[in-house]
A and B are shown apart, each in its own frame.
Chain A
Amino acid sequence: MLSLSKEKIIGIILIIIALVLVAITTPAFLSMHEPEELYPGPGVVQKKMLSDYYQGLKNTAGDTEVFILEGAEEGGTALLLGGVHPDEPAGFLSTLLFLENATISQGKMFIIPRTNRSGFTWNIPGEAVPQRFPIETEGGDRWFRFGARGINPIHSWPDQEVYVHYPSGQRMSGEDTRNLNRSFPGRPNGTLAERIAFGICELIRQEKIDLTIDYHTAMPEYPNINVIVAHERAMDIAASAQLEMLLSGIDISISVSPKNFHGLTHRELGDFTDTYAVLMEAPNIAIGRLRGRTTIDTIIKGQDDFYVWGAKLGRLFVPFTEEGWPLNVRLARHITTTKALIQALGDVNPEKKISIGNIPSYKELVDDAQKYYHPPESATQT
């Protein structure tokens, strides 16, 4: 008969306890792989996958949906990139509102809501952020994912000790190996981030995209905020859009893409494709270093007492009061700037005009953006 010592019996009990804890925590981690529902609106004429442009992404965590909206009249083409950093939900939701509401009468628009789809499947350990947040629509609550900045390590690991950007050779932090917005223009035999970046470049080249807009948000203590960052070839368009925004009473600055900071959309898409590459930033305290406890309200209301304190000490690059920077304001800024950029594209190049309809105004979005989310009940899941 098998006889076990007391130490071994205790050891086996401890291992069983560990396995039980693993079993309890596993569903929470696996639930992150469930995507939120998208309801393409009346303007969507076709849905493709990024792997249709670069086969190397097929059956990988980097493959993602590409929605196409097309008008009857010929015109320009625009590409909207949401969720390059999935912990910046205003970017994903801006593309979502275009996807679910926009109609196009002239030109063509490509929308990728989850550009870094892998990044939506995890949170950064230690950040203590919610896995998802709800938006109350007229037909009930919808939930959306609060992901992580980089690609999920289970899809791309290990990181290089020092990330060497291709093709510039610029050296960056090792964790930027999984940062999609340090991986452009990408390469077919590179890391997952580089392959996704390459797929996006292929889409831009094959579809002859005139204007590419990449949505981001930044922490209030980061100087590059409430800004349009544009490749030097896109400066005319960006400056025209900025003027339009300022005339509408919306404060936004403009910055030319630094030539020696590589891997970002506004630099590499402009250098390696013919598109006008533009990136936008709005304030997001849920990724900030000064924030207190991070709750769903932190994401949606954008309010935090420590940031009010930080503003009083003069440590922030945006005004910050008790009202904070709500998600609706961030969305309104992104969507209004997008309209201004597309208008400017047509003004600068009349043959590249894109006419978009059914997009709410800045005030309508700030007051009640919830009205423009498709209600969950009446929709067809994609």
Chain B
Amino acid sequence: MLLFLRFLNIAYRIIVIYILIIAIWNIITLGDLKRKVMTTTLIIPLILRALNIV
């Protein structure tokens, strides 16, 4: 069970980093300023999560 939980944990981290990369790509490439700002607010907790701070 411990191995399965570790697998889930790693899978979760990969998903967080994947979403973070897409969000950063969107912030750079999107033309709409409102969407850029909204996506920027979303990446703050994602960065904290990816760094294992929260």
Interface residues of chain A, those whose CB is within 8 Å of chain B, are 7-8, 10-12, 14-15, 17-19, 21-22, 25-26, 29-30, 122, 125, 153-154, 157-158, 189-191
Residue in B9, B12, B40 whose Cβ sees the most chain A Cβ within 10 Å: B40
Chain B residue at smallest Cβ distance from A122: B54
Give the complex CA separation of A97 and B37 in angstroms.
50
Give the complex CA separation of A12 and B37 in angstroms.
11
B17 at the interface (CB under 8 A from A): no
Contact B28 A154 (CB under 8 A): no
Contact A158 B8 (CB under 8 A): yes
A30 touches which of B29, B37, B53 (Cβ 8 Å): B53
A18 touches which of B2, B28, B43 (Cβ 8 Å): B43
Contact with A along B12-54 (1 / 0, CB 8 A): 1000000000001001111101001100110110011001111
Which 4 A-B pairs rank lowest in CB-CB distance, beginning with the nearest?
Answer: A11-B28, A14-B40, A11-B27, A189-B2
Question: With a CB–CB cut-off of 8 A, which chain A residues contact B54?
Answer: 29, 122, 125, 153-154
Contact A26 B9 (CB under 8 A): no
Contact A15 B24 (CB under 8 A): yes
Contact A15 B2 (CB under 8 A): no
A7 touches which of B30, B41, B43 (Cβ 8 Å): B30
Question: With a CB–CB cut-off of 8 A, which chain B residues contact A22?
Answer: 44, 47-48, 51
Question: With a CB–CB cut-off of 8 A, which chain A residues contact B1?
Answer: 189-190
Contact B36 A10 (CB under 8 A): yes
